[in-house]
Amino acid sequence: MSHSERAGSDHLPLRGLRVLVPRAAGRADALAARLEALGATPVLRPTIAYAPPEDPAPLAEAMNRLEAGMYEWLLLTSVTAVEVVARALGERAPLLAHRLSLKIGAVGPATAAACRELLGAEPAAVPERFLGAELVAALGDPAGRRVLLPNADIARPELEQRLRAAGALVDRVVAYRTVPAPGGEELADWLRAGAIDVLLFTSGSTARYFTLQVGAEGTEAARRCLVACIGPSTAETCRELGLPPTVVATVSTEEGLIEALVAHYAEGKV
């Protein structure tokens, strides 16, 4: 849709834009509601799904150590990680909120909210962006501290490496696997037909599995879309995949991503 077609719609700055939200099932509802309120048409098509670890033993052992008070920091980098920990602890989860020797680090406000809801615990550190330097800084001086890092099988090693370099004693355990979502064969057809205006990526994994789902021809057609990323790490992944982003949020939250997209179109860009 051209800028002239949307002119005069300041109250609906994204009017008429068809925005693909390739998040996992059940993760896109709030983002879709924000887009609709701004006039966009969200197209929800999961490209990723989550599965248990192939070997559940290391996670179970880590939860036992956590319950026993062996860690000083529990670092949760996604809502999914919070859900896995809450499910693994079960009735033991409320103990975390009352253990003064344990601090929780949660990446971003959504993960922090999940900690409050599912673990009943208030995070001690909530960095907004998934950048190794910021996360390590949020922990203060991690030297000699025992840190539990339960995250995805495909999580980048940067955070663990930076923590170790700062002197932390890190146990990194696979909490869940990121796998391709089923279906989606029609997505490549939509892209070739020009039925999508904006690709909204909230993680590098959604971008990677998007390109796998649509194939080479679909990825080529996707280059005609505007690519918007939630932060620099996701933007870097998109560049690696041949989908250079036009919009990169400076605040790595869903709200920051929407604000960056609105600002882009408010400036008359297409």
What residue numbers bound the domain in which 73 lies?
51-179
Confidence of residue 86 (pLDDT cuts 50, 70, 90): very high
- Looking at per-residue pLDDT, the higher value among 198 and 3 belongs to 198
User: In angstroms, rounded to a whole number, what is the distance separating the alpha carbons of residues 174 and 195?
Assistant: 37
Are 55 and 126 contained in the same domain? Answer: yes
pLDDT mean across residues, the chain: 88
Confidence of residue 220 (pLDDT cuts 50, 70, 90): very high
Residues 204-224 have a mean pLDDT of 93
Are 29 and 69 contained in the same domain? Answer: no
Contact criterion met (CB below 8 Å) for 171 and 151: no
Q: What is the 3-state secondary structure (H, E, C) of the chain?
A: CCHHHHCCCCCCCCCCCEEEECCCCCCCHHHHHHHHHCCCEEEECCCEEEECCCCCHHHHHHHHHHHCCCCCEEEECCHHHHHHHHHHHHHHHHHHHHCCCCEEEECHHHHHHHHHHHHCCCCCECCCCCCHHHHHHHCCCCCCCEEEEEEECCCCCHHHHHHHHCCCEEEEEEEEEEEECCCCCHHHHHHHCCCCCEEEECCHHHHHHHHHHHHHHHHHHHCCCEEEECCHHHHHHHHHCCCCCCEECCCCCHHHHHHHHHHHHHCCCC
Q: Give the residue from 179, 194, 213 where a domain finishes.
A: 179
Are 138 and 251 contained in the same domain? Answer: no
Confidence of residue 158 (pLDDT cuts 50, 70, 90): confident
Residues 257-268 have a mean pLDDT of 91
CATH number for the domain spanning 138: value is: 3.40.50.10090
Q: Does residue 235 register a pLDDT over 80?
A: yes
pLDDT of the residue at 8: 42
Q: Give the residue from 150, 179, 208 where a domain finishes.
A: 179
Please tell me the pTM assigned to this model: 0.80
Tell me: the pLDDT tens digits for 18-75? 999 998 777 778 889 999 999 999 999 998 889 999 999 999 999 999 999 999 999 9
Are 77 and 195 contained in the same domain? Answer: no
Task: Report long-range pairs for 168-173 (Cβ below 8 Å, ≥24 apart).
Answer: 168/73, 168/139, 168/142, 168/143, 168/144, 169/144, 169/145, 171/62, 171/65, 171/71, 171/146, 171/147, 173/58, 173/59, 173/62, 173/148, 173/149
Residues 226-243 have a mean pLDDT of 94
Total domain count, the chain: 2
Are 206 and 230 contained in the same domain? Answer: yes
Q: Does residue 5 register a pLDDT over 50?
A: no
Q: Give the residue from 130, 154, 179 where a domain finishes.
A: 179
Are 67 and 112 contained in the same domain? Answer: yes
Tell me: the pLDDT tens digits for 175-187? 999 998 887 778 9
Are 60 and 172 contained in the same domain? Answer: yes
25: number of Cβ within 10 Å:
14
pLDDT of the residue at 92: 86
pLDDT of the residue at 102: 93
